[in-house]
Amino acid sequence: MKKSRTNKMRRREVVTAYLMMAPDLILILVFLIAPIVYAIYLSFFDWSGLGAKRFVAMQNYKNIWKDSMFLSSLKTTGIYTVWVVILLVILSLFLALLISSCAKIVQGVFRTCIFMPYAISAVVAGLMWAFIYDQKRGYLNRLLYSLGMQKQGFISDSGQALYCIIPIALWLSVGYNAALFIVALKEVPSMYYEAAELDGASTLKKFWYITLPSIKNTTLFVTIVTTIGALQVFELIQVMTNGGPGQSTKVAVLHIYQQAFVQYKFGYASAMAVVLLIVIMIVTLIQFKVMGADNEGAEK
């Protein structure tokens, strides 16, 4: 009798839990899962988006490996991602350490200053920086010229363009990531440092053996989120260079977008999107394996 009542109560609890989660689950299903499933479905069709769909089985996937533009865009995305992830993690952590070591009174000011660019949309930032980088009349070139230096092509130079976009991506998101690190640093128990000091540990050793392991989960989170974001970079590049000069800044998502909305190859673009999704999943899994998330929570 008692057992059946307990079971009933548990069932009720489960139902209640699912009901409470339902709004979120429905949203996730409609706006996340359904589009992914539909993209996978579309990837097996030849479809201009306008007429009837024609089933082509794996043809779109076979075509991807012959599409030198997509492969080159993947390479460009890879270069962009490596630079952005490495620099962003280092820079965010450095700024977080710097701010954490400041007097409390100025910490808020610095935090606000570095967080502000995060509130700017990538489109607005891209337009603004396109003016700053302008080859003839941009502020940067005017500065170089006034210093007696030669004007640069910046985003008008196929060799420089990608490396001019990377600092903008860093500028936009360093504040957010630094804020995450600041919170993680605050969670590190001060007694660890006190004990290390008693043992005569240097600052570098304290950082290496106490700080870094203690904020491992945050580092992993920042790395993964930044990697995914970098692999999906689009607005900044579309606004600043639209993939040019030539194809020098054509990243994978821009290429997929152009295939879908300029070339009207929705089936093929979906196949490329699926490939990119798999690439992102593989990279994320590798990062999890290599960096090894501490499920019990290192930041106790």
Partner 1 sequence: MKKIKKRSISFVLTLVMLFSMCSAVAVSAEEPVEITLWTFHSFDETTEPDSLGGFWKNVGEEYVAATGANVKVTVESIPNPGYMDEKLPTAFATGSGPDVFLMCPPIMMQYVQSDLLVPLNDYYTDEMKEDFYVNVVDGYTVDGNIYSFPFNMGMEVLFVNMDALEEAGQEVPTNWEELRTVAAALTTEERWGLVTNVDNNTNMPMCFSPFVWMQGDFFTEDRRGSMMNSEAVTDALQLWRDLITDGSMPVKVPASGYDIETMLNGGAAMMVSGIWNIPSIIADESGMNIEIFPLPAPEGGKPASCTGGWSLAVADNGDPAKIQACIDFAKWLSFDNSEAAYKASTYEGLLPVRNSISERAQEEYFVGEHWDMVFSQGIIESSIPELRCPPAVNEIIRNMVVNCLADTSRPVEEFAAEADEQLKLFLETYDGEL
Q: Which of 248, 279, 293, 299 is in the footprint of partner 1 by CB under 8 A?
A: 248
The total of other beta-carbon atoms located within 10 Å of residue 268's CB is 26
Q: Taking contact as CB under 8 A, which single stretch among the options 24-32, 33-41, 84-92, 241-249 is the one that binds partner 1?
A: 241-249
Minimal distance, residue 130 CB to partner 1, in Å: 4
Contact call for residues 84 and 170 (beta carbons, < 8 A):
yes
Minimal distance, residue 149 CB to partner 1, in Å: 12
Q: Verify binding: residue 267, partner 1, rule CB under 8 A.
A: no
Amino acid letter, 123: V
Q: Which of 236, 241, 276, 298 is in the footprint of partner 1 by CB under 8 A?
A: 241
Question: In the beta sheet, which residues pair with residue 54?
Answer: 46
The DSSP code for 46 is E
Distance from the Cα of residue 186 to its chain's centroid? 24
Touching partner 1, residues 185-214 (CB under 8 A) = none
The site map against partner 1 for 101-140 (x = CB under 8 A) is --------------------------x--xx-xxxxxx--
Minimal distance, residue 271 CB to partner 1, in Å: 17
Q: Verify binding: residue 83, partner 1, rule CB under 8 A.
A: no
Q: Angle at Cα 109 formed by Cα 105 and Cα 111, nearest 5°?
A: 110
Q: Which residue from 114, 171, 172, 161 is spatially nearest to 133, judged by alpha carbons?
A: 161
Query: Smaller CB distance to partner 1: residue 3 or 136?
Result: 136
For residue 3 the two structure tokens come to 């057992």
Minimal distance, residue 254 CB to partner 1, in Å: 10
In angstroms, the CA 268 to CA 256 distance is 8
For the chain, give percent helix, strand, coil, nearest 5: 75, 0, 25
Could you tell me how many residues of this chain bind partner 1 (CB under 8 A)? 33
Q: Verify binding: residue 50, partner 1, rule CB under 8 A.
A: yes
Contact call for residues 165 and 240 (beta carbons, < 8 A):
yes
Q: Verify binding: residue 49, partner 1, rule CB under 8 A.
A: yes
Minimal distance, residue 87 CB to partner 1, in Å: 25
Contact call for residues 215 and 184 (beta carbons, < 8 A):
yes
Binding site for partner 1 (CB under 8 A): 48-51, 127, 130-131, 133-138, 145, 151, 153, 155-158, 241-248, 261-264, 266
